[in-house]
Amino acid sequence: MSVEVTRGGLVESRHQVHAAVVNAAGELTAATGDPQRPTILRSTAKPLQAVPLLEGGAFDAFGFDDRILAVCCASHLGRPEHVETVARGFALAGLDPVLLRNTTGSVDQRLAHNCSGNHLAFLAASAHAGWSLEGYRDPSHPSQVAARAAVARAAGLTAEQVPICVDGCGVVAFELPLAVLAAVYARLAAEQPRQAAAMRAHPELVRGEGRLDTELMRAVPGAVCKGGAEGLACLGLPEQGLGVAVRVEDGNDRAVAPALLDVAGQLLDWPAQPVNLRDLAAPSVRNAPGDEVGMVKSDVLLATSGWQEL
């Protein structure tokens, strides 16, 4: 239940992995490690944080499209296509990007920050509802209260049952057991079809070329994938009726793609890894001159019982 980093055939590091596989009814069907591990969902919450944008009517009122919705759910790389889409959303909403409080620096730097689309969603929802645009990141702000309610509803809990903290970009982040988060993603396409459809239609806007979220959605029909900080990634497989949440115990991001793709391969019974996922499933370790000197390889074995013993 770990991801190994080898160098010259020698094991240099091991990253412990927890994984939960849950069906749409919320039943744990397979796991490794501790499937109930309390887990802070940061960027993996973004499709749910976009709920107030849609339910409050701002998305339709401002004439947003699926490209904008995809980037509202994104942890993008700040490439031109990402920045242009976020900026277009601000223009349609009649808002100035100077309102962004996702990072320090110039407006251009804030637009290029990976959470700019997420913050656009909060600001657009607030503008349409008549809420203050200042302090939109505060836990007591209506946009954050609404996002917490959306996360709680998806988890089958009350808002008070969802512990909160502060994300890296300053908005509210949430804590759920890993298996509950997997259940949220098992139901995501059914309960949040607009976000799921936008992410699948425009996977390049959700993260970027060559990255896990983007390439996995390209490789697996119907899949919805979203990674997050501190070694977390989630996958919804609506055709199989399953959701997956993988958490690397030490928070090291290099282990996330190999672990999630290992789990996905077991669930989907891949005869061979899809071509566009091979470098993500077993990334090379290279030295400064560029020589391949090792690899990152997952050895995560799912079990259908006895998780407390793994």
**Per-residue pLDDT tens over the stretch 216-266:** 999 999 999 999 999 999 999 999 999 999 999 999 999 999 999 999 999
Higher pLDDT among residues 272 and 39, named by residue: 39
3-state secondary structure of 54: helix
Cα–Cα distance for residue pair 263/269, rounded to 1 Å: 10
Of the candidates 156, 215, 216, 154, which has an alpha carbon nearest to the alpha carbon of residue 189?
A: 154
In the block, tokens 């908005």 appear at 171
Asked whether 192 and 70 are in contact (CB, 8 A), the reply is no
Biggest alpha carbon–alpha carbon distance for the chain: 60
Q: Which domains does the chain have, with CATH numbers?
A: 2-309 (3.40.710)
Cβ neighbours of residue 20 under 8 Å, at least 6 residues apart?
28, 31, 35, 36, 178, 179, 181, 182, 244, 245
Helix 142-155 × helix 116-129 angle, to 10°: 110
CA distances, 305 to each of 195, 257, 310 (Å): 33, 24, 9
User: What are 69-85's pLDDT values in tens digits?
Assistant: 999 999 999 999 999 99
User: Which run of H or E residues covers position 7?
Assistant: strand 2-7
pLDDT at 307 over 60: no
Cα–Cα distance for residue pair 178/22, rounded to 1 Å: 10
pTM for the whole thing? 0.94
Share of the chain above pLDDT 90, in %: 95
Q: How confident is the model at residue 304 (pLDDT cuts 50, 70, 90)?
A: confident
pLDDT at 203 over 80: yes
